């Protein structure tokens, strides 16, 4: 029940109870008033008026007459009734004065101390002058009548108070039950959160820990109460390259949930626990401050398996390179003797040569990939001039374009800035884009573009007029080993690693890759490189920290 | 016109013999050395027009050979093309700084590319299908 409904219910209940009490009061008075006293007639008259007023309450539309039916009117009228009654019986010293108790309880029920004091003061003001005026002698009552009045009034008061406060009691029981439920619910949730094996922290927007579970306490070596402490200090994180990363900075200002698998917890004893970390911003209430829920799962084992796999690929692809170079060179050189070879032998040698070259390209992609994924290799940042980079690329691909009778153009927008990045990686990505464009374009041309990007870096694009990519293929384009079902692409060789490699390299540079394409009308592949890579910014921070410690030492 | 002379410096003997066979088939006069010290000696005696130089070799590595050749007056003008397994950008940058004319990464090129590049540096026209003499 909401507050408004509860108030209505309370008012209706009060009205009903008061009505019943009025009847009982009138009844009590009628039974107990001795009929042979001078004021008896007046008293019967008062009872008739009162009964008539009480009857009004049973009229169906009485509730609409605010002037007569409002709570304050009822209180005033009832008080006047009691005052008149006491006046007529001649004294406050008669047992009828007990009726005043109703008035005080009623007033206190609605208006608290002020109400009860108001009733007492009002009745006193009414009774003191009349007591001095004394129109009637006090009603002389026999002892049995006095006892009967007292008992009846006590009984009525008891019933009245019970009825009046029943709603309150119910409400209190409900609230108590609710609070017990809440408590149970809270304990259940706490048990649930505590029984999880993943470490859970809840932090406020300044990075202070509000809540955490048992696994969180077990994960970090910090002793004692964690609540209120700075999470960055409690759970220092770092990349595999040992670069410190602040979890709080990662969380702050990000309204979307994030997941990271590249961070480890660096314990004070020097051990590293690799974590799968998810950060979820939550807002408590509409205008509440943002809190963050951080869940960390120990993935040290998975990571070490990943690492072993990556190392295996790195070593295997490295060891494959030399024999492949030799086989390729041997086959290529053997093919020089073509004129002396039978056509069958030439065919076999050519097949062997073509596939060796293909195998070489797979191995090359795997090597580049394992290098791109190995974040222990520090990234080398140098100024990159987009103009020189693209000119070199276009030069490299020009012979191929001429051979296929395709136009190959370079468009460089003015104000395209130089950036601090790894030229090698950008070159590799664009080279992959161009190789694909060449492969899948039979007529028309290819345009290589560079333009200033919104984030102050460079937006590279390779646009072709080729076969295009279907919407369903576009979704998987940058996935490992994905190859389109389009029969036209099946005719050309590809490792299915090229674009995945582009994605990995771009991530290394903190750059973005994506593509836009219409089937049969060509595709455009994009690479957006920031003005300097994330690592550079982290590095700048480290330098800043070093300088400030140096200043502190001075 | 006399045959262009090429000094092949490569410690993998199988690969070296293949390269030698190929380059001879393409009409070059070839001398092979399998370490850096031999290479320095041959650069003075054989007087090659171009040196195809590996980097990872026993005794003297390719970077050192390159550095010495560039600082010796009689060899400082010989064309030098690096052909190495090292593909890192900083290796390439270092070779360029030391004065290499070109840098090829073994895994990124096929033998035909290497031959085309050699011809380019020797200002020779791209050659149509050379033939291998039958045994």
Residue A231 to residue A279: CA distance in whole angstroms = 13
pLDDT of residue A461 exceeding 90, the answer is yes
CA-based nearest residue to B49, from B80, B72, B11, B25: B80
CA-based nearest residue to A364, from A317, A434, A412: A317
pLDDT at position A251, please?
82
Q: What is the overall mean pLDDT for chain A?
A: 83
Q: Identify all chain B residues contacting A329, using CB atoms and an 8 Å cutoff.
A: 15, 18-19, 22, 110-111
Residue A62 to residue A57: CA distance in whole angstroms = 6
DSSP readout, A54-82? Answer: HHHTTSTTGGG-HHHHSHHHHHHHHHHHH
A444 to A317, A343, A468, A470, B62: CA distances (angstroms): 37, 35, 13, 20, 45
Look up residue A207 and give its two tokens. 């990075």
* Maximum average pLDDT range among A279-288, A521-530, B88-97, B126-135: A521-530
pLDDT at position A489, please?
64
A462 to A429, A509, B10: CA distances (angstroms): 10, 19, 38
Look up residue A56 and give its two tokens. 């009004």
Between the two ends of chain B, the Cα-to-Cα distance in Å is 26
pLDDT of residue B92 exceeding 80, the answer is yes
Choose between A139 and A387: higher pLDDT. A387
CA-based nearest residue to B118, from B133, B101, B94, B95: B101
Quote ipTM for the complex: 0.82
Q: What is the pLDDT of residues A61-99, one digit of tens each?
A: 877 777 777 888 888 888 888 888 888 887 777 777 778
Q: Identify all chain B residues contacting A508, using CB atoms and an 8 Å cutoff.
A: none
Q: Identify all chain B residues contacting A357, using CB atoms and an 8 Å cutoff.
A: 110
The answer to whether A246 and A232 are in contact (CB under 8 A) is yes
Q: What is the pLDDT of residues A293-347, one digit of tens each?
A: 999 999 888 888 877 887 888 888 878 888 888 999 999 989 988 888 898 999 9
Look up residue A198 and give its two tokens. 């993943």
The answer to whether A480 and A497 are in contact (CB under 8 A) is yes
pLDDT of residue A526 exceeding 90, the answer is yes
A355 interfacial to chain B (CB closer than 8 Å):
no
- What mean pLDDT comes out for the span A116-132? 81
B126 interfacial to chain A (CB closer than 8 Å):
no
Q: What is the pLDDT of residues A243-294, one digit of tens each?
A: 788 888 888 777 778 888 888 898 888 888 889 999 988 887 766 778 899 9
pLDDT at position A550, please?
54
- The alpha helices in A374-422, defined as continuous H runs, are 386-403
Could you give phi then psi for residue A381, rounded to 5 degrees?
Answer: -110, 130
For Cα atoms A366, A503, A356, give the angle at the middle one, nearest 5 degrees: 25
For Cα atoms A451, A454, A458, give the angle at the middle one, nearest 5 degrees: 35
Most A CBs within 10 Å, among B8, B112, B117, to test the A interface: B112
The answer to whether A505 and A429 are in contact (CB under 8 A) is yes
Choose between A162 and B9: higher pLDDT. B9
Nearest chain A Cα distance for residue B1, angstroms: 23
* Maximum average pLDDT range among A101-105, A174-178, B122-126: A174-178
- 3-state SS string for A7-47: HHHHHHHHHHHHHHHHHHHHHHHHHHCCCCCCCHHHHHHHH
Look up residue B82 and give its two tokens. 């690096």
pTM (predicted TM-score): 0.53
């Amino acid at each position: 029940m909401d507050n408004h409904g509860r108030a209505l219910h309370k008012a209706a209940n009060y009205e009903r109870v008061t009505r019943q009490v009025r009847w009982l009061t009138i009844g009590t008075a009628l039974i107990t008033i001795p009929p042979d006293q001078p004021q008896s007639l007046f008293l019967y008259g008062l009872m008739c008026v009162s009964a008539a007023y009480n009857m009004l309450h049973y009229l169906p539309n009485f509730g609409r007459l605010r002037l007569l039916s409002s709570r304050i009117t009822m209180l005033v009228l009832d008080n006047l009734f009691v005052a008149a009654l006491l006046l007529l019986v001649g004294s406050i010293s008669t047992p009828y004065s007990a009726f005043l108790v109703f008035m005080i309880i009623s007033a206190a029920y609605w208006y608290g101390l002020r109400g009860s004091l108001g009733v007492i003061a009002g009745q006193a003001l009414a009774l003191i002058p009349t007591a001095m005026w004394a129109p009637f002698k006090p009603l002389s009552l026999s002892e049995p009548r006095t006892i009967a009045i007292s008992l009846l009034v006590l009984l009525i008061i008891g019933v009245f108070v019970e009825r009046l406060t029943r709603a309150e009691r119910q409400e209190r029981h409900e609230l108590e039950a609710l609070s017990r439920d809440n408590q149970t619910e809270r304990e259940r949730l706490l048990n649930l959160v505590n029984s999880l094996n993943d470490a859970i922290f809840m932090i406020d927007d300044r990075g202070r820990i509000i809540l955490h579970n048992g696994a969180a306490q077990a994960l970090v070596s910090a002793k004692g109460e964690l609540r209120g402490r700075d999470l960055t200090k409690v759970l220092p994180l770092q990349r595999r390259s040992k670069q410190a990363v602040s979890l709080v900075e990662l969380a702050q200002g990000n309204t979307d949930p994030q997941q990271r698998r590249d961070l480890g917890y660096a314990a004070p004893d020097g051990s590293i626990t690799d974590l799968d970390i998810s950060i979820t911003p939550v807002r408590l209430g509409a205008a509440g401050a943002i809190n963050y829920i951080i869940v960390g799962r120990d993935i040290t084992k998975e990571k070490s398996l990943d690492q072993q796999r990556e190392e295996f690929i790195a070593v295997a692809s490295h060891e494959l390179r030399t024999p492949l170079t030799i086989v390729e060179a041997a086959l290529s050189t053997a093919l020089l003797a073509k004129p002396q070879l039978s056509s069958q032998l030439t065919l076999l040698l050519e097949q062997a040569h073509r596939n060796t070259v293909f195998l070489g390209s797979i191995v090359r992609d795997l090597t580049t990939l394992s290098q791109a994924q190995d974040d222990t290799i520090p990234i080398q940042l140098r100024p990159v001039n987009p103009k020189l980079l693209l000119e070199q690329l276009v030069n490299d691909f020009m012979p191929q374009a001429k051979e296929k009778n395709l136009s190959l153009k370079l468009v460089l927008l003015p104000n395209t800035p130089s950036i601090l990045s790894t030229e090698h990686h950008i070159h590799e990505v664009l080279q992959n884009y161009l190789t694909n464009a060449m492969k899948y374009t039979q007529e028309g041309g290819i345009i290589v573009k560079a333009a200033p990007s919104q984030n102050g870096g460079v937006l590279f694009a390779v646009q072709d007029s080729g076969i295009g990519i279907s919407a369903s293929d576009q979704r998987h384009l940058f996935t490992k080993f994905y190859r389109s079902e389009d029969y036209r692409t099946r005719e050309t060789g590809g490792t299915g690693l090229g674009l995945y490699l582009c994605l990995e390299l771009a991530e290394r540079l903190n750059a973005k890759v994506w593509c836009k394409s219409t089937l049969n009308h060509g595709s455009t592949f994009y690479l957006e490189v920031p003005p300097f890579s994330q690592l550079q910014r982290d590095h700048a921070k480290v330098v800043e920290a070093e300088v400030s410690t140096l200043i502190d030492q001075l | 016109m006399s045959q262009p002379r090429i000094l092949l410096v490569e410690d993998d003997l199988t690969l070296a013999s293949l390269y030698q066979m190929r380059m001879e088939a393409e009409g070059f006069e070839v001398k092979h050395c399998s370490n850096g010290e031999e290479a320095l000696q041959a650069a003075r005696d054989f007087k090659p027009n171009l040196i195809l130089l590996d980097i990872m070799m026993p005794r003297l590595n390719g970077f050192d050979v390159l550095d010495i050749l560039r600082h010796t007056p009689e060899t400082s003008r010989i064309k030098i093309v690096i052909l190495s397994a090292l593909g890192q950008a900083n290796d390439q940058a270092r070779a360029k700084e030391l004065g290499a004319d070109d840098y090829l990464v073994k895994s990124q090129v096929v033998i035909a590319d290497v031959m085309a590049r050699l011809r380019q540096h020797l200002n020779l026209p791209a050659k149509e299908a050379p033939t291998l003499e039958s045994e």
